[in-house]
A = this chain, B = another copy of it.
C-alpha cells in the first residue's frame, strides 16, 4: 500500500517560531505575551487544544527561561503529545486559580511594575477579564502587534498546505457543479459540500454557503430550506482546513435544468463579465510593495466604472492561513505593502439585493514577481444543466 505523505510543518520550525516570538515580544515592547488556545498557540507549538473554560496559556517573557505552557493537570499528557517541540509545562489542579498562576509566572519573569502584556486575539473575554483582575496594574494589548510579523508571511511548507487545501476545494466545486442541483434544497447541497470537503482530505468543513436565486445576493447567506430552481444563479462559497490551513473558494453557477430558455439573462451575463474582469485585474495587481488598499481599489475601480459600485459592499479579500480570516486585509484604508509569502483571498462580488448576485474568489500568494494563484478551477460562469 502506498501512503501519500502530506507536507507538514517540520518540528524544528516550531523552535524557530518560539525563538522569533521571544524576540518579537521584546521588539513590541511587551513584558510578556499571553497566548491562549487558538491559532497563535498552534502556530507557535503545534498544540491544538480545545477552547474551553479551563485555562491553557503559553506565557512568553523575554529574558532567561522565557517560556511556560500552563495547562490543566488532566490535559498534561495531551499537551505533551500535542506540542511539536519541547515546551516546559506547568499544571494546575481543578481547585487552583489558573489566572493567578499565570500572574505569578509573569511577575517572576518581568517583575511587578507597570507591565505591558500582549494577549492573543482569540482568548475568551472570560479569561481576559480574570487576568485583568489578577494583574490590576498591567496594560493589555493585542498580541498580534508582536505575532503578525511572524504569521503574515507563509513559508514554503505553509504554502504547500494552502495549495493542497485549495486544490481539494477545487475538486469539490467540480463535483457539485456536476449536479444534480435543481429540485434540491440549499441545505442539502451544503451537506454534500461538507461531506465532499472531508472526503477530499479536509479535517474540518467550516462553511458551505449555497446562495440560490435571490439568496445569491446575500454574501454570507446561511444555506436554507429553499429549493433550487432552474433559471437562477447559485453562489457557492466553501472551505475548511487541511493540515490546519484554510481553503476558501467561491464560484458562481447558473442552473438551466437542461432548458436552453432558462440560461442566464443579459444583465447577469454583463454583471458577471464585469466581476470576472475585476477579479482578474485585482489578481494581476499582486506583487511585493503594492498596498493592500490598492488591490481593493483595482477591483472596485472596474466595478464602479460599470455602475455597480453600490452593489460591491465588502472588502476585496482577507489573509488566510491557520485562520480563515487573518492579516492582511485587502480593504480601503489599509496601506500595508504586500510582501512575498503573504496569502489572501481575492473575492469581489456584485449583489443586486432581492434579485441575484455573483462572486468569484481565489486564494492567491504574493510571489516575488507577481501572483501565485492556488485555485485552478475555471473562473467562468458555470452554466450547468443542474
Q: Check A221–B140 contact: CB distance below 8 A.
A: no
Closest to A38 in B: B124
A125 within 8 A of B: yes
Chain B residues contacting A78 (CB-CB under 8 Å) are 218, 220-222
Distance between Cα atoms of A217 and B73 in the complex (Å): 12
Distance between Cα atoms of A36 and B73 in the complex (Å): 30
Please tell me which one of the listed residues B73, B124, B315 contacts residue A123 in the complex, with CB atoms under 8 A apart. B124
A93 within 8 A of B: yes
Distance between Cα atoms of A77 and B354 in the complex (Å): 10
Q: Check A332–B128 contact: CB distance below 8 A.
A: no
A201 within 8 A of B: no
Closest to A77 in B: B218
A268 within 8 A of B: no
Q: Check A333–B52 contact: CB distance below 8 A.
A: no
Chain B residues contacting A277 (CB-CB under 8 Å) are none
Distance in Å from the Cβ of A297 to the closest Cβ of chain B? 12
Contact A314:B121 (CB < 8 A) given known A78-B220, A126-B142, A129-B141: no
Q: Check A73–B222 contact: CB distance below 8 A.
A: no
Distance in Å from the Cβ of A164 to the closest Cβ of chain B? 19
Contact A124:B126 (CB < 8 A) given known A74-B314, A333-B95: no
What mask results when residues 84 to 104 of chain A are scored 1 for a CB within 8 Å of chain B, else 0?
A: 000000000111000000000
Distance between Cα atoms of A324 and B54 in the complex (Å): 12
Chain B residues contacting A36 (CB-CB under 8 Å) are 125
Q: Check B331–A53 contact: CB distance below 8 A.
A: no
Chain B residues contacting A81 (CB-CB under 8 Å) are 218, 221-222, 224
What mask results when residues 318 to 329 of chain A are scored 1 for a CB within 8 Å of chain B, else 0?
A: 000000111000
Q: Check B53–A325 contact: CB distance below 8 A.
A: yes
Q: Check A331–B124 contact: CB distance below 8 A.
A: no
Q: Check B126–A313 contact: CB distance below 8 A.
A: no
Distance between Cα atoms of A206 and B122 in the complex (Å): 19
Distance between Cα atoms of A74 and B235 in the complex (Å): 14
Distance in Å from the Cβ of A315 to the closest Cβ of chain B? 5
Closest to A50 in B: B207
Closest to A209 in B: B78
Contact A220:B75 (CB < 8 A) given known A52-B324, A331-B95, A332-B94: yes
Q: Check A325–B52 contact: CB distance below 8 A.
A: yes
A172 within 8 A of B: no
Distance in Å from the Cβ of A124 to the closest Cβ of chain B? 5
A219 within 8 A of B: yes
Chain B residues contacting A129 (CB-CB under 8 Å) are 119, 128, 140-142
Distance between Cα atoms of A94 and B219 in the complex (Å): 13
Distance between Cα atoms of A220 and B95 in the complex (Å): 18
A179 within 8 A of B: no
Closest to A129 in B: B142
Chain B residues contacting A75 (CB-CB under 8 Å) are 219-220
A120 within 8 A of B: yes
Distance in Å from the Cβ of A367 to the closest Cβ of chain B? 26
Q: Which of A123, A324, A326 has its CB near the most chain B CB atoms (within 10 A)?
A: A123
Distance in Å from the Cβ of A74 to the closest Cβ of chain B? 4
List 16 A-B residue pairs with CB atoms under 8 Å apart, sorted by A's residue number.
Answer: A50-B207, A74-B219, A74-B314, A75-B219, A75-B220, A77-B353, A78-B218, A94-B314, A94-B332, A121-B124, A122-B125, A124-B124, A125-B142, A126-B144, A129-B140, A129-B141
Q: Which 9 A-B pairs have the closest CB atoms?
A: A121-B126, A77-B218, A123-B125, A74-B219, A74-B314, A125-B128, A75-B220, A78-B220, A94-B315
